[in-house]
Amino acid sequence: MKNAAMVKLPEEKAENDGRSCIHNRVVQYLREQSIGFRPFQKNEMDAFMTTVGSTLWQLDGSWHKFHTASNVQALPESLHFVPEGRDSYRILHHGNHKKKCTPQIKSDELLVNYERLELLTTKRYLQAEDWKPVLRDIQQLKDSIGDYLRHVFRACDVKSAPSCDLEKVDVENRVLKVVLPVHQRDESVKLRYKDLEKRLLDVPTYTELNMIFVTPIERRMKHKYIIRLQLGFAVHLYRTYSPNATFVWRIDLSDSDVNSALVVARIEKNLFERVMADKLKKLEETFGGTANWTESKVLELVSAAQEDDSPPNGATQAGYKLLLDEGYGVSEAVELEKDAVACSTGKFSNFWDSVSKVLAADDLTVAEERRHGETSWISPLCVSLSDLMRKCEVEMERSFPNSPMNFIPSYEYFRLQFVPRNSHTEVSKRYYGRFDVKFGLQKRTLHKSHVDQHFGAKQFQFLKAMAGKFCDHSLAFFMDDKATIPVGFVGAPVSATRRQRSVLMAGLDGRGLNAMDHDNIPQHIVPSVSIKIVPPKELTDSWYCGKPIITLKDAIFQPSSAFRHAAEVVKHLSVADHNRPMMFFGTDGGPDHNVTSILVMLSYIYIFIELDLDFLGAARTPPNFSVVNPAERFMSVANIALVGVSLSRNNLGADEKKVKSFTSKKQWRDAHQKRPDIDYPQLALDGTKDARKLLSDRFERLTYKGEQVQIGEPATEEEISELKLKISALFDIDFSAALLKAKVLKVPAVEEFFADHVRCTKYTFQVKKCKKDECRFHEKIRLPVEVFDDVHWVPSPELKGDHYLNFEDVYGREPTDKDVPSLNTAGSLESDALKPPFPLAHTRARMIVRCTEC
């Protein structure tokens, strides 16, 4: 605590030039004021020195211009640093030679420093009592520069500086000014503002546009773009400095200011949220397709994401790179680092105190069962991290009522305050360890990396973009199977999740509340999850929504398969869903969803024909990268229904002796083959009847983004057999024998269908109606002609340099596998090193297996 209370000053530099001398004078100025920075305020210290130092360096040798200008406030004498015997520090020494630089003040650079000072005065640490003299000097310096700029611009012709009218600078960090039209412009100027003019002309008058979407990402170029604004029509420019943003809208000079006042009111409503969302969207557009995060790319992202002009911190860069390499999106990485910076300033101190009080309660933490140590695990009383956050919010409002410092961190940043489950992994570097507690029920999902993970994420993005492009005619399904839920033997319930403290039981006739810790049991329930979504029009809108459908199946006789999933999709569609002739599927690429499997292909073709679709597109994620599948995000919600639940099998009465000795799934299946006269599949369903009913009731009580969870009926064997009969009749395929992909694709009917209607790559499978007047495989096209003419295949990501091209750049091209990283390693040193040191032969197949597909 003693070190935390100590203050520090910036290090002085060797006075080899004028800038270093001014830097040292600023350090001496702070020392004379007896103030400094805390150890965790390194970013604030760098920003202060950069802003004040660059401003004083620009004014060096030119203070007399401010004294002679009319209506200009005097500059603060305490910041007027003059070398002994000279008027300026702008004298460079090179051996025996001396070169004097003539001081010049450029209005655009001075305006940049004015804006930096404006932003600096809003910093919280400058509001402290001991910093008030410094704050007064900086405000006086800022006001003097503002007065001088007005003096300069009043002397300029409007045409030469159309956007430099600072007459309306107010005291609340806002600027509203009119930019008059300029009709005689250079061709280079017209080209520079062509995109902005097009955007403003495409929307009605008095419709605001955030200029972050058209300005360059580099800060200095962005400032020049704004202050030199020249358009062919009049606009209002509205600038805010806290937060830092610029809005522009087209105006009619003959109208009153009432319409612009309404625009300003609309902007000010939820301004901070809007500016942050627009900034994340711009960063996602600029950096979202990056395939390889080099040091220079990370530095560029960090510089663009910062809210001031301080040089990027090395630790911040390392944090960004670690997050991006782990697979986090650009927007997620920016939000995490933003919360980390806010925490370093003490913004969340009230919340952290409240968390400590909540975790100190006797019944909220339990010792880890099989290890010894001081670290605790959060008990089932906190069934989710959001539940713990709500408890802490209530405690904070109770402990600090009406405090202006009652800020709440983001969900992800709060999670990183705990102790990692495994402190020896690379991921553990992201944890802060503020609280000596491990969260065990809704923990972080770890995944292995894969060479195709960036390609796969972009492919999934293209699938969503295609669905959003035709959102009025399409429907999207994202599917995944949740981990199996064990059902214990009669009288021996097993916990649905591990390490429970109190449980509910089914099938035990109320005899106590005990549950087995674990056991080798043959019966499990498989919850298959599918999220049905009407695609949003914009890719940036939320895709983590929709109608969740959970189907509970017996793992012994109702295993997940491609045909079972297809039958259930058709079964669960509503009447309204049939009116949408385009359907998109996103899956994790398991054996029952792998689009390169012939069974999966045939199942999608069945959906296409049965529902009379005009287009069907399916994409799978790369191995170990199902985190991009929206269905995977629902699993944490589904886990809530399993907390505190224990299940056991029902007693089957007279039939109990037939199954009592079965200890594995194989024994159940073997018995069914030997004695087909005994209905073992029905006995398995009867044994888990109460367990499935309990789970159905608990799942139905869940909501996902406001949508109630729906419990679906599993497909029956009769429905699956009927599905196979339809495929067999259409393509002349014999399902009684094992299906080999190579043989099936050589069947004449299949070959003809694939040539005219199918495109398949490593990660996608697509089916589309042809434009023939008569086609024996499908009915007539249902979409309007002009819409169907615009329906092309979902494109594959294509590299250009180290970026993948955007969807708009590749839409209309044939999908290919030319840029799939895992398919482009042949002949590389790495692939050669992986080859075994002996000839490949089937007799050695068990000696070496390197599979990247499962």
Confidence bin at 601 (pLDDT 50/70/90)? very high
Distances (CA, A) of 68 to 157, 411, 526, 556: 21, 56, 83, 92
Flag the least confident range among 73-87, 676-690, 831-845: 831-845
- Residue 12 pLDDT > 50, yes or no? yes
Which alpha helices (DSSP H) does 308-361 contain, by range? 314-325, 330-344, 349-359
- Give residue for tokens 């089914």: 506
CB 750 within 8 A of CB 733: yes
CB 558 within 8 A of CB 525: no
pLDDT in tens, 310-355: 556 666 667 777 777 766 777 777 776 666 655 555 667 778 888 8
Structure tokens at 596: 């390169």
Rounded average pLDDT over 51-70: 82
pLDDT in tens, 16-52: 888 888 888 889 898 888 888 887 788 788 888 888 8
Task: Give pLDDT, residue 830.
Answer: 45
Residue 212: other Cβ atoms inside 10 A: 19
pLDDT in tens, 736-756: 777 888 888 888 999 999 998
Residue 836: other Cβ atoms inside 10 A: 10
Task: Give pLDDT, residue 811.
Answer: 92
Structure tokens at 332: 């997620």
- Residue 847 pLDDT > 60, yes or no? no
In a 13 Å sphere around the CA of 90, the CA atoms on its Cβ side amount to 14
Mention every residue, 6+ apart, whose C-beta is less than 8 A from residue 105.
58, 59, 62, 65
Flag the least confident range among 136-140, 660-664, 839-843: 839-843
Task: Give pLDDT, residue 6.
Answer: 59
- Residue 712 pLDDT > 60, yes or no? yes
- Residue 793 pLDDT > 90, yes or no? yes
Percentage of the chain lying above the pLDDT 90 cut: 9
Flag the least confident range among 20-29, 352-361, 822-831: 822-831
Confidence bin at 839 (pLDDT 50/70/90)? low
- Give dist(CA 422, CA 1) in Å, integer: 28
What value does the mean pLDDT of the chain take?
Answer: 78
pLDDT in tens, 128-151: 888 888 888 888 888 888 888 777
β-pairing verdict for 707-708 and 485-486: unpaired
Flag the least confident range among 112-116, 301-305, 443-447, 577-581: 443-447
- Give residue for tokens 């042949």: 826
pLDDT in tens, 546-567: 889 999 988 888 888 888 999 9
- Residue 848 pLDDT > 70, yes or no? no
**Residue among 455, 451, 339, 439 at smallest CA distance from 385:** 439
Highest-confidence segment of 256-265, 516-525, 598-607: 598-607
- Give dist(CA 676, CA 674) in Å, integer: 6
Rounded average pLDDT over 808-819: 90
CB 409 within 8 A of CB 351: yes
- Residue 380 pLDDT > 50, yes or no? no
Which alpha helices (DSSP H) does 452-534 contain, by range? 453-469
Residue 436: other Cβ atoms inside 10 A: 13
Rounded average pLDDT over 389-411: 81
- Residue 617 pLDDT > 90, yes or no? yes
Angle, CA of 411, 416 and 420, to the nearest 5°: 140
pLDDT in tens, 222-279: 888 888 888 889 898 888 877 788 999 998 887 767 788 888 888 888 888 888 888 8
Rounded average pLDDT over 192-198: 89
Element (DSSP H or E) covering residue 578: none
Task: Give pLDDT, residue 497.
Answer: 67
Q: Largest Cα–Cα distance of the chain, in whole Å?
A: 111
- Residue 164 pLDDT > 70, yes or no? no
- Residue 502 pLDDT > 50, yes or no? no
Structure tokens at 94: 């090179």
- Residue 423 pLDDT > 70, yes or no? no
CA-CA-CA-CA torsion sign (40, 44, 47, 51):
negative
Confidence bin at 180 (pLDDT 50/70/90)? confident
Which carries the bigger pLDDT value, residue 301 or residue 497?
Answer: 301
Confidence bin at 660 (pLDDT 50/70/90)? confident
